Amino acid sequence: MNAGSTDRSAPALRVDDVEVRYGGTTAVTEISLTVAPGEVVGLIGPNGAGKSTLLKAIAGLVTAQEGRFRLGDVELTGLSFTRRCRAGIGLTFQIPRNAGRLTVSEELFAQARGFRHRWLPGSRRSMDAIAALLRDLDLEAVADRRVPDLTLGEIRRFEVARALVNDPAVLLVDEPASGMTADEAKVLSAALARLAAGGVGVLLVEHNIPFLSSLADRAVVLDAGKLLIEGATHDVLTSTPVQEAYLGATRTPR
């Protein structure tokens, strides 16, 4: 991973004054945030607040009409999803993408081939790295199972593994624990904590508040596309605006 040489004081990811509109609808506006190397930042807010939109805008999957995105010294603004992945952004999806009919390990090798500037296909390094990912995310037992046959919890862990093939500097994860058993969530939580300890920045969207608070150093709250409050996770979660806007009537956290 990116441990060792990372400068933990400089933000890995910097989002400045971003706005995304879908036609006439403003999904997010005036959003600025940073994620430092090794930091887990929780991103929460009611349904429709703009969390997934913001992750996709950072990854270049939707276009931000305003604002800038930088990863370290690299300007991401205007780059495609693929270029941003190559620059070090990893993303998992709220609704898992339809994987093909390949097995878990075949999918991971296929992903590795897509990034062959870093990993030679079939090389010792990619075999070892994929074995380590399977182990880290407790996917060894299903390595030879086809992805469509996995449980939702396994698919979510597979998605994280696939995003990690690219060795991202910052991982954007959209509700990774949803649909997981408590035991599966523990495996995932430990894997994300290890990643962060190794210097990877994590931007975590999660409605499961105990899961989020056990991982996130800081939390950022979106409400109706705007940044409502940010700060230390505990302070944010117990703040009045969050109790009212998020934990109140709008949605019962899962």
Judged by the rule CB under 6 A, the positions of this chain that interact with ligand ATP are 22, 25, 27, 45, 47-53, 94
Residue of 221, 217, 214, 167 whose CA lies nearest to 195? 167
Q: For Mg ion, which stretch binds (CB under 5 A), given 52-60, 139-147, 195-203, 235-243?
A: 52-60
**Which of 2, 29, 52, 111 touches Mg ion by CB under 5 A?**
52
The one-letter amino acid at 248: G
The 10 Å CB-count burial string (b at 16+, else e) for 179-188 is bbeeebbebb
Q: For Mg ion, which stretch binds (CB under 5 A), given 2-10, 89-97, 123-131, 196-204?
A: 89-97
Q: Which does 9 bind (CB under 5 to 8 A by kind): ligand ATP, Mg ion, none?
A: none
What tokens appear for 174 in the block?
């959209």
CB of 98 to ligand ATP, least distance (A): 17
What tokens appear for 156 in the block?
């979510």
The residue (of 165 and 221) whose beta carbon lies closer to ligand ATP is 221
SS3 assignment, position 229: strand
The residue (of 55 and 85) whose beta carbon lies closer to Mg ion is 55
Using CB under 5 A as the binding rule, whether residue 94 contacts Mg ion is answered as yes
CB of 248 to Mg ion, least distance (A): 19
How large is the greatest C-alpha to C-alpha distance in the chain, in angstroms? 54
Give CA separation, 19 vs 47, 77, 246, in Å: 18, 12, 21
The residue (of 21 and 145) whose beta carbon lies closer to ligand ATP is 21
Q: For Mg ion, which stretch binds (CB under 5 A), given 48-56, 81-89, 114-122, 184-192?
A: 48-56
Which stretches within the chain are classed as H helix?
A: 51-59, 81-87, 104-114, 124-136, 152-164, 182-197, 209-215, 233-238, 240-245
The residue (of 53 and 166) whose beta carbon lies closer to ligand ATP is 53
* 128 contacts: CB under 8 Å, gap ≥ 6: none
The residue (of 95 and 124) whose beta carbon lies closer to ligand ATP is 95
Q: Which does 53 bind (CB under 5 to 8 A by kind): ligand ATP, Mg ion, none?
A: ligand ATP
Contact positions vs Mg ion (CB under 5 A):
51-52, 94
